[in-house]
């Protein structure tokens, strides 16, 4: 688990918030508003919520590419769950999956995003997304569910004091994580999708790593719960084999069915020809 990721998520969660007030959504950009608003020609203009969230997402990806190993995709996928959570908070934007988001906000606002995240960051984002087509079809609402246990897990990591092994909130955060994880693990939409299940499985492993190495050093967190087991995500080879088995099974049925139909059809055909 990357503490850099958790610290960044906590930072931007404080700076980008949405609040419901009398059926209206109030966007509070806090410090980010000062940084990403301009006062050209005497008019104060700010980038849209979606542009800022998109830019922050790209900044996070760029940051982790320079500091951590993104080859295993874990940090990228965690960051995408944060993005989906933020996008899902503003449902009126009319986007349902990452492909819609990519086309509507990333492509159409390329210049604005490059001003905030930089050209290099924008290009890095394109490389990651274009090389993982399955991510573009991810449902934003479903993916946002995975952010909730991630947030609890991040709290467990960032609030743990490595100097004096004191983590007063650890037990509470661990309990919240287990509850959210188990709830999602019973969701057939999540567990039935290999992309979602992969992230859930990664959360499972990161929680167990925390439990094995950190919780033992903390008196308030040495009795954290054990998670319900989850099947590991299938590899592309396993998916291919399953598809092949289904194809072979269909072929087997066809091979048995066609001769039977011929046995029935030939006498009928001959009878008609004889008449």
Q: Does the global pTM surpass 0.75? A: no
Among 2-11, 80-89, 219-228, 232-241, which is the least confidently predicted range?
232-241
* 42 CB-near residues (< 8 Å, 6+ apart): none
* Whole-angstrom distance, CA of residue 212 vs CA of residue 206: 10
The confidence score (pLDDT) of residue 145 equals 93
Q: In the structure encoding, which two tokens stand for residue 272, read together? A: 């008609």
Query: Average pLDDT, stretch 66-83?
Result: 72
Sign of CA dihedral 263, 265, 266, 267: positive
| DSSP three-state, residue 18 | strand
DSSP H or E run through 80: helix 74-88
Q: Which residue has the higher pLDDT, 223 or 74?
A: 74
Q: Do residues 44 and 38 make contact, with C-beta atoms less than 8 angstroms apart?
A: yes
Query: Average pLDDT, stretch 220-239?
Result: 59
pLDDT digits (tens, 9 = 90+) for 93-145: 678 888 888 788 777 777 777 777 777 777 777 776 666 656 667 888 999 99
pLDDT digits (tens, 9 = 90+) for 15-30: 665 554 444 444 455 5
* pLDDT over threshold 50, residue 170: yes
């Amino acid at each position: 688990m990357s503490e850099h990721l958790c610290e960044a998520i906590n930072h931007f969660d404080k700076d980008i918030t949405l609040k419901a007030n009398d059926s209206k959504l109030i966007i509070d950009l806090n410090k980010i508003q000062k940084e990403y608003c301009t006062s050209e020609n005497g008019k104060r203009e700010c980038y849209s919520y979606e542009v800022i969230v998109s830019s922050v997402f790209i900044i996070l990806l760029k940051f982790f590419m320079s500091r951590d190993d993104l080859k295993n995709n874990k940090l990228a996928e965690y960051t995408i769950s944060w993005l989906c959570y933020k996008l899902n908070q503003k449902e009126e934007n009319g986007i349902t999956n990452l492909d819609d988001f990519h086309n509507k906000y990333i492509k159409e606002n390329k210049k604005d995003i490059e001003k905030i995240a930089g050209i290099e960051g924008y290009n890095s984002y394109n490389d990651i997304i274009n090389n993982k087509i399955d991510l573009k079809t991810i449902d934003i609402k479903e993916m946002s569910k995975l952010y909730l246990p991630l947030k609890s897990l991040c709290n467990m990591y960032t609030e743990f004091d490595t100097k004096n092994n004191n983590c007063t909130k650890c037990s509470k955060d661990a309990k919240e994580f287990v509850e959210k994880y188990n709830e999602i693990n019973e969701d057939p939409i999540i567990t039935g999708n290999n992309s979602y299940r992969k992230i859930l499985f990664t959360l499972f492993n990161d929680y167990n790593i925390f439990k094995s190495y950190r919780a033992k050093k903390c008196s308030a967190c040495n009795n954290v719960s054990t998670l319900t087991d989850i099947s590991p995500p299938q590899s592309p080879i396993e998916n291919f084999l399953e598809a092949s088995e289904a194809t072979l099974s269909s072929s087997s049925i066809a091979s048995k069915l066609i001769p039977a139909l011929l046995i029935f059809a030939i006498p009928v055909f001959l009878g008609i020809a004889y008449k």
